Amino acid sequence: MSTSATLLQVAASTLAFYARYSDESQSPTSIDDQLRRCRDIAERHGYPTSNALVFTDEEVSSFRADKAASREGYRKLMDAWEQGRIDILIVDELSRLARNGRQQLELFESIDSTGVRFLTANGIDSALEGWRLVFNIQGMMAQEESRATSFRVIRGMRGQLERGYMIAQPPIGYQSERVLENGRELGTKWSVDEASASLVREMYARRGKGESFGSIAAWLNGCGVPTPRNGRLWRAAGIQRLLENAIYRGEFILNGSSFAKTKARKLRKKTKLTPQAISFDRPLLRIVSDEVWYAAQPRSRSGEGRTQYGGGRNIYSGWMRCGHCGSLLSATSGGSAFSCGGCISNRRAADPAAPAAVPTISKRGIEQVVRHALSYTLSADRLDELRERLKERLSEDPESELKRLRLAREHAKQRAQRVLRLISLDPDSDELAETEYAAAKDALKVAEQALKRAEGSADVLLKRDLVAQLSLTPEDLAGKLLDGELEVAHVRTVLSRLFSHFVLTGREGRVSIFHIEFRPGVAAAWLTDSAVVDESICALEVRISCSAKRPVEWKLEAQRVKPRSPLPSGPGHEVTRSRGQS
């Protein structure tokens, strides 16, 4: 080929440059520097640069192959490549295009199959012999550098946290301040911003009373409260993430965000390894108590049903269960009755274990049962039993309280270890087991913090709560909860916490049978607006039937039985009978 023909071919070749920098810690001028070196290489090889195609990406990593679509410049480059609009591609170095092994392999195959000349400032030239070896070596070095950088970043973040500093932007409720020494930045400290912290407390209070995440978001939007990241609107998912942040109870968890947990689950599926979540105490950053924080958590963490929060107009939805399959009873017939959706599905699927008749009871029947159980909860006898337990707690010396808290911590620790052992024995354990382990770890953390507070100082708040509940007189608990003056979501939340078990165990003809376990201490705490200090459980077996003729007459029998939960209850088995008209 003549020299003039070669020059014409070079002039007709379509030249492309690509440049990228990773994050905001790198200077945007890095793009200009990379493009300048690309032009130097082009001119050195005799390629005119005036009409070169230029593709760039800013503040985006090239390590995640599955995130390639978010790199707009890279995507446009590959589109042009596939359309045959590129003959020569020049980059500063291979890592600007790809650090991930899969993406490097795709790039390698594209160069091989299309004949595009690939040039870098650090020595790769696909027109030379041996370029594949150089490409592979630099590719492996780029991958390893990415992993090393990630390790150094995580190591640095943990180091800052161990020194008492904070990382990342503070969530709503806090403000940050840089700590300097002789003009050198040592780190960042957070402090509580009372103006926005009061808003956070109100969000927890609303959640604790049963409001849904969506309802809280609508309230914030209606009040014109700006979002933390200047978004347009508050949304339910954002409220949930905010209220799940452990920093509000004075604990910062590295690898504890929802993003980190999702990433850890994916990593565990691939490698059976899970990045460890590390906790750092930040007592000065506490905005709400442990009890308030846990009351706002979804079922996976608090152990309570999620349907008690928000949606629906029926106070009996979301906390009563079927004794046959364990599913929640759901409203049917326009809310006039409750039945088990799980048993209905099992019968339709011809499950041989499905019951012959789906457990069903009218709303009026449930109301009779609930009213009787509420009246029994703080009856004179139950209140006397509760007072005896409260007096015993009040008279205990600090060492007895410490022993009790240490025992509670040991039980929580054993539970967490038991679940972890089951997960380790079954590498393919499902998400339910991981959820159970998360709940067990949370319970252990609460027990450890309660013990730590008791060891540090006299528990004045506990004594105040005990005194308040000791002064309680027999109350019409059913009237207060069911008279229609309270919000439905609030009533549903109180009932779900009061009744640890409310199970329709079966039917015998026209008789419906319930097993009910309740905690008088929860009722006492709610009525006195104090913390729960007595977790004792009482249990009833309730049998209810109605007449076949109108007006309907209800017949109810209740017998005190042993609770199925491993917590103590009062002595005795009384039988009570009552009749009513509706």
**pLDDT tens digits for 74-101?**
889 999 999 999 999 999 988 888 888 8
pLDDT value for 12: 53
Q: Is residue 292 part of a domain?
A: yes
Q: Are both 34 and 145 inside the same structural domain?
A: yes
Same domain, 270 and 411: no
pLDDT band for position 432 (50/70/90)?
Answer: low
Asked if 139 and 8 sit in the same domain, the reply is yes
Q: What is the pLDDT of residue 26?
A: 52
Q: Are residues 365 and 497 in the same domain?
A: yes
Residue 56: inside a domain: yes
pLDDT for position 86? 92
- Nearest-5° Cα angle at 291, 286 to 293: 55
Look at residue 228 in the predicted model and tell me its pLDDT. 81
Domain count, the chain: 4
Q: Which pLDDT score is estimated for 185? A: 86
Where do we find the tokens 């500063």?
92
- In angstroms, the CA 383 to CA 376 distance is 10
User: So what's the pLDDT on residue 460?
Assistant: 56
Residues 320 and 289 both lie in one domain: no
The enclosing domain of 258 has a CATH number of: 3.90.1750.20
What pLDDT sits at residue 582?
33
pLDDT at 31: 87
pLDDT for residue 69: 60
CATH number of domain containing 417: 1.20.58
Residues 229 and 271 in one domain: yes
Average pLDDT, the chain: 81
Range of 453's domain? 388-458
Q: Is residue 155 part of a domain?
A: no
Q: Which residue has the higher pLDDT, 77 or 476?
A: 77
Tell me the pLDDT band of 68, cut-offs 50, 70 and 90: low
In the predicted structure, residue 36 carries a pLDDT above the cut 70: yes
- Judge whether 134 lies within some domain: yes
> Which of 82, 116, 150 is a domain's end point?
150
pLDDT in tens, 348-397: 888 888 888 888 899 999 999 999 999 999 898 999 999 999 998 888 76
**Pairwise pLDDT comparison (374 vs 530), residue with the higher score:** 374
pLDDT, residue 67, reads 57
- Given this model, what pLDDT does residue 269 score? 47
* Burial (Cβ within 10 Å: 0-12, 13-18, ≥19) of residue 553: middle
User: Position of tokens 């440059």?
Assistant: 17
Structural domain ending residue among the three candidates 458, 492, 510? 458
Q: Where are the alpha helices (DSSP H) in 56-130?
A: 72-82, 94-97, 101-114
Asked whether residue 314 falls in the same domain as residue 292, the answer is no
230-242 per-position pLDDT tens digit: 777 899 989 999 9
Q: Decide if 100 contacts 64 (C-beta within 8 A).
A: yes
Same structural domain, 186 and 203: yes
Residue showing tokens 């082009």 = 42
Q: Considering only 104-118, 259-273, 507-521, 564-578, which range has the smallest mean pLDDT?
A: 564-578
pTM: 0.59
Q: Same structural domain for residues 571 and 454?
A: no
Candidate from 189-203, 310-324, 353-367 with smallest mean pLDDT: 310-324
Examine the pLDDT at 398 and tell me if it is beyond 70: no
Residue 265 above 70 pLDDT?
A: no
Average pLDDT in the 109-117 region?
A: 91
Long-range contacts of 48-52 (CB under 8 A, 24+ apart): 48/10, 48/11, 48/15, 49/15, 51/14, 51/15, 52/15, 52/16, 52/17
In a domain? residue 89: yes
**Same domain (yes/no): 350, 495:** yes
Say yes or no to pLDDT of 1 above 80.
no
* Confidence band of 305 (pLDDT split at 50, 70, 90): very low
Q: Dig out the tokens for 455 from the structure.
A: 């060891």
Q: Do 443 and 300 contact (CB within 8 A), yes or no?
A: no
Task: Provide the token pair at 545.
Answer: 């039937």
Do 361 and 335 form a contact (C-beta atoms < 8 A)? Answer: no
Residue 524: pLDDT band by 50, 70, 90 thresholds?
very high
Out of 458, 491, 515, a domain closes at 458
**Is 322 in contact with 301 (CB distance < 8 Å)?**
no
Token pair 């911003």 is found at: 193
Do 206 and 353 lie in a common domain? no
Q: Are residues 114 and 19 in the same domain?
A: yes
- Is the predicted pLDDT of residue 433 greater than 70, yes or no? no
Read off the pLDDT of each residue in 219-237 and give the average, rounded to a whole number. 86
> Residue holding tokens 């707690």?
393
Q: Is residue 33 part of a domain?
A: yes
CATH number of the domain where residue 124 is located: 3.40.50.1390
* pLDDT for res 429: 56
**pLDDT recorded at residue 81:** 92
The residue that leads in pLDDT, 72 or 261, is 72
- Residue 309 pLDDT: 53
The answer to the question of residue 163 being in a domain is no
User: Which of 298-302, 465-469, 522-526 has the least mean pLDDT?
Assistant: 298-302
Q: Does residue 401 lie within any of the structural domains? A: yes
Residue 426 banded pLDDT, cuts 50, 70, 90: low
